[in-house]
């Protein structure tokens, strides 16, 4: 479908690539589901928190997005807070996920080096659009 389209990074091309507009209505999959949380409610430091309740909150958010991934059969997902982006990949059908290193918003950016969070979200869309099955991934 997309092979005849120019490979430039136009909005139209990216929209077709990421959202599979050629599919019949109501069948387009959500290729990279995610969730947005405030950092005071969820962040990666909760993973090793001494409180079992805080660790459970950390796992609950991952479980929630994992469920979002399972519904349309998507492989890639994310959690975005006001402080960081966490990207992960569903590795099998029993719920295992691989987490990439958290990307903090504090890294900033410059004209020659774009801010990493929007760039990572774009890359996530590209990974999801060109899903190669169980191939390894890097974020």
Q: What is the pLDDT along the chain (139 residues), one digit of tens a residue?
A: 444 444 444 555 545 555 555 666 666 567 888 999 999 999 999 999 999 999 999 999 999 999 988 888 888 999 999 899 999 998 877 778 899 999 988 777 666 766 788 888 888 888 887 765 555 555 5
Half-sphere exposure of 77 (CA within 13 A, CB side): 28
Sign of torsion over alpha carbons 57, 91, 87, 99: positive
Q: Among residues 83, 45, 41, 40, which one has the least CA distance to residue 64?
A: 41
CA 27 – CA 89 distance, rounded (Å): 22
| pTM score, whole prediction | 0.72
Q: How many domains does the chain have?
A: 1
In a domain, 40, yes or no: yes
18 within a domain of the structure (yes/no) = no
Tokens for 104?
């903090």
- In a domain, residue 97? The reply is yes
User: Which residues, 6 or more positions from 52, have their beta carbon under 8 angstroms from its beta carbon?
Assistant: none
CB-side neighbour CA atoms (13 Å) of 35: 18
In a domain, 106, yes or no: yes
In a domain, residue 9? The reply is no
pLDDT, residue 25, reads 60
> Is 83:106 a contact under the CB 8 Å cutoff?
yes
Residue at 68 is within a domain: yes
Contacts of 75 (CB under 8 A, 6+ apart): 69, 89, 90, 128, 131
The answer to the question of residue 12 being in a domain is no
Segments forming the whole domain that contains residue 46:
31-129
Residue 88 lies in a domain: yes
Whether the CB-CB separation of 1 and 45 falls below 8 Å is answered with no
């Amino acid at each position: 479908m997309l092979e005849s389209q120019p490979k430039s990074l136009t909005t139209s091309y990216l929209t077709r690539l990421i959202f599979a507009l050629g599919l019949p209505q109501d069948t387009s999959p959500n290729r990279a589901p995610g969730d947005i949380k405030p950092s005071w409610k969820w962040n990666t430091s909760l993973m090793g928190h001494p409180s079992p309740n805080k660790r459970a909150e950390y796992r609950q958010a991952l479980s929630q997005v994992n469920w979002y991934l399972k519904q349309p059969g998507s492989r890639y997902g994310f959690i975005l807070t006001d402080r960081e982006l966490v990207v992960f990949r569903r590795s099998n059908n029993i719920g295992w996920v691989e987490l990439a290193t958290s990307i903090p918003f504090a890294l900033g950016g410059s004209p020659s080096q774009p801010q990493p969070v929007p760039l990572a979200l774009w890359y996530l869309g590209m990974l999801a659009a060109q899903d190669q099955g169980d191939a390894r991934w890097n974020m």
